Amino acid sequence: MAAVVPDYELAELYTRAFRVGALGLGWQRLLGPPDLSLAAEAEKEEEEDAAVAAALGCAPGTAAELRAVCSIDMLMSCEKEEDPDVIPEDSSLLTLRIRKKTLERREETIIVDRACRQETLTYEMESHATGKRPDNPTDLIEEGELLLILNIFYPVIFQKHKDHKPYQTVLVLGSQKLTELRDSISCVSDLQIGGEFSSQPDQAPEHISKDLYKSAFFYFEGIFYNDKRYPECRDLSRTIIEWSESHDRGYENLQSVKMEDYSFNDLSLKIGFPYLYCHQGNCEHIIIITDIRLIHHDDCLDRNLYPLLVKKHWLCTRKCFVCKMYTARWVTNRDSLAPEDPCFFCDVCFRMLHYDAEGNKLGEFLAYPYVDPGIFN
């Protein structure tokens, strides 16, 4: 695989397509062992002057001088303990003057300035796996591994999301197979239970859609990667390929291959360009690769934790119409006992309203198990 240097195809928006693995090669060719090393941060050990002198081609005396002159202490405050929370009074920096005003305004308007639970969640997700190392050394990620950062968009379409569609951010390793990503994507449509259960509410089946409809595909750069691990899996992309081949629609050769045979390093991708993940036959998610970089010693180095979810959108759950407390688990249509159609109930309220003490159905209605998109919060 030849090394490649990614560059913009459309400026500031997305790049040309390139082999992901080639990027890794490209970097490894240019860097040395200390750059790629994933060893834990060592304590501040100063380099030997001789080593510096050798590397720079200068005299050892110069090296010693450099160590003194270029020390970070030259830039730091030598005063006694400064409190970083306090902005100095007469700062010459415009940034600080503006920040101070903003903080003062915030203090006036906000009564309690504390992280709300969404912020805590976001921060925790972003940082919980940082620097984690596995107990088992075989699970340690290798040097030179590539890390891809993907945004996977929710298929939910609410009016309030029309400007900024909500998404999850997932980190995935270059050496991981596509199937690993597919398994890690949690979508509410996977949990749907099909069927009407007003007559037998206790027998809502165990099978969720994820188990029944196992087919899925990824679409990257003209190739459909279909999940073919199970005999029930069908090639969902066949329809599309047949459609594009039926007339000259201007699409290049669309191919269909097996998802489980490919890892991310094998793919040709554009960074910043929207691609597709489709499952359950018609549940479509847009995927955008926002970044690819070399793994760093401060990243999570436990292979088992990948694909790693680092950001997800908080969706408010729909609450039961009756108690307004619990998340809705049932939805009814054409319900004579309900004030609106459709109407959402939690499990307890649903049974209390629609069934008598013996469990007989009261009134006419259709009831379906409901899985709220916010279930993953």
Partner 1 sequence: MSAVPGLKEDCEELLGAFQQADTVRFERFAELWRERRFHTIFYGRMRALERNKITKKTLDVAQQYFFPPYSFQIRVGALYLLYGLYNAQLCQPKQKIRIALKHWPEIQKFQLDLLDAQHYDAVYIFRRLRLARAFHFTAMPKLLTYRTKKKIEKNYFKEEFKDPSNRVNSLITNDVLEELMNIHDHYQKMKCVISADKSQPDKALSLIKDDFVVNLKDITLEHQEWQQNRMKLLRNAKVVPETEDKKKEETLLKSEGSERANALARIKYKSYSAVVEVSRSRRHRQVQLESSESGPSCGKSPGRSKKASRTPQPARRSEMQVTEETVTRHIGMPVIIEEDSEE
In the complex, least distance from residue 236 CB atom to partner 1, rounded to whole angstroms:
24
The terminus-to-terminus CA distance of the chain in angstroms comes to 42
- Scan for tokens 């609450």, then name that residue: 319
Q: Which is nearer to partner 1, 164 or 324 (CB)?
A: 164
Q: Which is nearer to partner 1, 44 or 247 (CB)?
A: 44
Q: Which is nearer to partner 1, 241 or 288 (CB)?
A: 288
In the complex, least distance from residue 207 CB atom to partner 1, rounded to whole angstroms:
36
Q: Is the dihedral of CA 82, 84, 88, 93 positive or negative?
A: positive
In the complex, least distance from residue 101 CB atom to partner 1, rounded to whole angstroms:
10
Q: Which is nearer to partner 1, 123 or 314 (CB)?
A: 123
In the complex, least distance from residue 134 CB atom to partner 1, rounded to whole angstroms:
18
Instruction: Centre a 10 Å sphere on the Cβ of residue 171 and count the other Cβ atoms it contains.
Output: 20
Q: Which is nearer to partner 1, 11 or 357 (CB)?
A: 11
In the complex, least distance from residue 53 CB atom to partner 1, rounded to whole angstroms:
10
Q: Which is nearer to partner 1, 88 or 205 (CB)?
A: 88
In the complex, least distance from residue 277 CB atom to partner 1, rounded to whole angstroms:
15
Q: Identify which of 208, 348, 359, 343 has the alpha carbon closest to the alpha carbon of residue 367.
A: 343
In the complex, least distance from residue 255 CB atom to partner 1, rounded to whole angstroms:
24
In the complex, least distance from residue 197 CB atom to partner 1, rounded to whole angstroms:
41
Asked whether the bond before 84 is cis by omega within 30 degrees of 0, the reply is no
Q: Which is nearer to partner 1, 121 or 322 (CB)?
A: 121
In the complex, least distance from residue 340 CB atom to partner 1, rounded to whole angstroms:
37
Q: Which is nearer to partner 1, 23 or 172 (CB)?
A: 23
Specify the amino acid at residue 54: A
Q: How far apart are CA 245 and CA 224, in angstroms?
A: 14
Q: How far apart are CA 76 and CA 247, in angstroms?
A: 68
Q: Which is nearer to partner 1, 75 or 357 (CB)?
A: 75
In the complex, least distance from residue 79 CB atom to partner 1, rounded to whole angstroms:
10
Calculated CA dihedral for residues 117, 189, 218, 305, nearest 10 degrees = 40
Q: Which is nearer to partner 1, 85 or 340 (CB)?
A: 85
Helices 49-56 and 60-69, axial angle in degrees (round to 10): 110
Q: Identify which of 289, 352, 7 has the alpha carbon closest to the alpha carbon of residue 152.
A: 289
